[in-house]
Structure 1
């Protein structure tokens, strides 16, 4: 082990995003040096020897290990800036990143993308395909538990509880967007894949916030249990501003590993639009299906749909066309989690006793996750890349440039033999403005 103070070459081990965080904090001239939440990525992996080396390098201070992240050969920790400089001199350290905070991407959908038509004509409902919702949890809503319980798994990385719950309400809404069956509404409010199974993975807290390290733990758990739980799709309706290319982002590295392992990953484009380069992380990851939002204007036809102002636009930080697809995300009616934070703070958004309206790319992403489940039910042997290519190839074009609308709005009517999808001519983007 090399215990010297970090040289300028060693300092390059601090990621650009971490250096930005350090620089910003210095501007406040705090008298008490802060402890930074960081992710330390190792060159070779997480051996006991390398972890001891980290503690020795940090001396006389200590680093408090928080979580092991073997998926990306890293641990999360808390350390002072002076400790960071010594960690840079540790030979086994490859890179140090900030452990960034992500938030849920808040700001008549299923019929609009064709899932009702496909169900009636072909019988595709997502049955046998399970979708992991990495979010604030999932409430035992009748639309997910009747006539049979389709919440097939639950894991809580925030509070360690065993049974499904959702103290925020966002995750339950997202689960309903993907797989609600309309039990309470007698079929009126359904998700895209109304017989798909749901695995709730709580990685965001009551306020809808969660760190990189917690979310990566959730991804690791999904990968480790994908065969046991028959997982095929992961949905991430969360994000934070992209500070650099995907290769310099621990969360993006993790979702790329998930795709390589055979899982379709859908991610919200974020609600920081309409400026260029506003797609959020992990939506900048090249292999995930990144989803922006349209306003479907409460009609089944896609011909009158318009992109929302808030939907994140490309290109992705570091390069690459994003988003990949669009889906309805304006005033979406889905499942209510009674007594949750959103339910109490936004009572005027309740629809009856069992439903709730929310807007954002958070709502659009699970619709595409549900669309992927329908496709996988028909063709279970497809790889994640093949699922992505098919959904993009058959999307309904809104005539937008690729870094605004991707390949267009998801449309699963192509699953019906002989179906024809007409497209809107190329034109200047029309926006749906929030009232």
Structure 2
């Protein structure tokens, strides 16, 4: 079973390699986070970690991998990770940006509007952090009593000069909920580029669209499948991956040794069949768990499309620091490319084009 050889997101999207979000601060609101080496080494780029669900945060849980930590860690790293644990291979586009991490997931992973609104407003309470971009890869339900307050929080943050990116969601039969439903937000749906750069190969990822307000959402599309992201150290997932890849490597070496006869005396058809079956079992497990190495796996969904788009905004701001949230939205949308035969309400402006967006920003310096 052949495993896809994943490129980093910058390579896959042909982003400028020398524009990496240097000097830009990005905030992430999510269920939880962990200080992964891809954000901490060789230099610490996490400026602040905050918990919007409690009055007095217990900092110890930040340093202990939790079930609720994986989603936020992966979203942050898909935008701003430097791929430290992969030798730089699985880095994000904004790999030099600094990050502010704000937890909005309550006990048991519950996402409540009051916590999301509080987390979104965090950069307003601490303006000295210099946040320019805020990504929210979660949403609230229709019946949440703080539905309107989440919308207001987004509007307040954008009015303060912070570009807000939001995941559209992965339910094509449902509308987009806050924060992505807010017109001022840059709402990102999903695209499947099928690992080739041409428009003819692209298709749409199943994404939520539209909103109660009647606004066209999403605003644009970004990759939402086969996105490389780090696993949480010490978790069952991470502990399983390493021995699986070690076992597969041994089996591949055995398989390559001249019919198994020169060194291992495994030359009978039955022995060759047994090795082949073992390889298929191991490869099937690796594929099922979405492992791409002993420390990384691929992740899917608009939760990861949104931070990828946000990372391009970090490039734009590095080149042109005076851009406003409205400028960023305009630049991303004007340089996006429409997917043929896909309704406008499903794709917005079309698929993200990082180089074109940075060139747009450069022309406005």
3-state DSSP of counterpart to 2:85 = coil
Superposition map of 1:111-122 within 5 A: 111-115=11-15, 118-119=16-17
Q: Distance in 2 between matches of 1:417 and 1:132?
A: 24
Aligned equivalent of 1:203: 104
Pick from 234, 246, 254 the counterpart of residue 134 of structure 2: 234
Pick from 220, 223, 227 the counterpart of residue 124 of structure 2: 223
The superposition leaves residues 266-300 of structure 1 with CA deviations (integer Å, 9 ceiling, x where unpaired) of 00101111x3x522322110000000011122234
Unpaired runs of at least 5, structure 1: 1-107, 419-435
Alpha-carbon deviation of 1:243?
6.3
Residue 183 (str. 1) matches residue 84 (str. 2): yes
Work out whether residues 170 and 208 of structure 1, in 8 Å CA contact, stay in contact via their aligned partners in 2.
Answer: no
Aligned equivalent of 1:412: 354
Residue 157 (str. 1) matches residue 56 (str. 2): no
Q: Distance in 2 between matches of 1:295 and 1:134?
A: 25
Residue 384 (str. 1) matches residue 325 (str. 2): yes
Residue 293 (str. 1) matches residue 190 (str. 2): yes
Superposition map of 1:122-161 within 5 A: 123-158=18-53, 160-161=57-58
Q: What CA RMSD, in Å, does the superposition of the two structures yield over aligned residues?
A: 2.7
Work out whether residues 151 and 199 of structure 1, in 8 Å CA contact, stay in contact via their aligned partners in 2.
Answer: yes
Q: Compared with structure 1, are the counterparts of its residues 365 and 344 closer, same or farther at alpha carbon in structure 2 (3 Å cutoff)?
A: farther
Pick from 380, 403, 414 the counterpart of residue 345 of structure 2: 403
In the superposition, the TM-score normalised over structure 2's length comes to 0.75
The superposition leaves residues 12-60 of structure 1 with CA deviations (integer Å, 9 ceiling, x where unpaired) of xxxxxxxxxxxxxxxxxxxxxxxxxxxxxxxxxxxxxxxxxxxxxxxxx
Q: Compared with structure 1, are the counterparts of its residues 285 and 340 closer, same or farther at alpha carbon in structure 2 (3 Å cutoff)?
A: farther
3-state DSSP of counterpart to 1:266 = strand
Alpha-carbon deviation of 1:140?
2.0
Q: Distance in 2 between matches of 1:183 and 1:370?
A: 17
Matched pairs, number: 300
Q: Which has the higher helix share?
A: 2
Q: Compared with structure 1, are the counterparts of its residues 209 and 357 closer, same or farther at alpha carbon in structure 2 (3 Å cutoff)?
A: farther
Q: Distance in 2 between matches of 1:272 and 1:148?
A: 38
Q: Compared with structure 1, are the counterparts of its residues 278 and 185 closer, same or farther at alpha carbon in structure 2 (3 Å cutoff)?
A: same
Q: Compared with structure 1, are the counterparts of its residues 206 and 366 closer, same or farther at alpha carbon in structure 2 (3 Å cutoff)?
A: farther
Work out whether residues 292 and 327 of structure 1, in 8 Å CA contact, stay in contact via their aligned partners in 2.
Answer: yes
Q: Distance in 2 between matches of 1:300 and 1:162?
A: 43
Q: Distance in 1 between matches of 2:229 and 2:178?
A: 25
Q: Which has the higher strand share?
A: 1
Pick from 209, 228, 250 the counterpart of residue 149 of structure 2: 250
Aligned equivalent of 1:265: 164
In the superposition, the TM-score normalised over structure 1's length comes to 0.64
Residue 313 (str. 1) matches residue 209 (str. 2): yes
3-state DSSP of counterpart to 1:177 = helix
Q: Distance in 2 between matches of 1:210 and 1:170?
A: 13
Work out whether residues 267 and 283 of structure 1, in 8 Å CA contact, stay in contact via their aligned partners in 2.
Answer: yes
Work out whether residues 206 and 341 of structure 1, in 8 Å CA contact, stay in contact via their aligned partners in 2.
Answer: no
Work out whether residues 132 and 231 of structure 1, in 8 Å CA contact, stay in contact via their aligned partners in 2.
Answer: yes
Unpaired runs of at least 5, structure 2: 1-6, 242-285, 361-365
Alpha-carbon deviation of 1:339?
4.3
Alpha-carbon deviation of 1:242?
4.3
3-state DSSP of counterpart to 1:238 = coil
Work out whether residues 336 and 350 of structure 1, in 8 Å CA contact, stay in contact via their aligned partners in 2.
Answer: no
Work out whether residues 111 and 300 of structure 1, in 8 Å CA contact, stay in contact via their aligned partners in 2.
Answer: no
